[in-house]
Amino acid sequence: MSNVVNLNKFRKARAKAEAKKRAETNVRLHGRTKAEREIEARQKARLEHCVDGARLTPTTDDDGEHG
């Protein structure tokens, strides 16, 4: 004799598993805390500042001629 399966419980469990999988995917794609985003922005600003300070010639023209 086979076991009786409650289809509502089965459907709810399947939906819950799919929601959990979707949540894990979203965390991987978008999951950074506000603090992590701020740290990254500060590091990027510091890097840009260092690169701008290390230029040998200032950029004045868009055509590339200096002088």
pTM: 0.44
Q: CA 48, 51, 52, 55: dihedral to nearest 10 degrees? A: -170
What string of pLDDT tens digits covers the 67 residues of the chain? 678 889 999 999 999 999 999 999 988 888 888 899 899 999 999 999 888 877 777 666 666 555 4
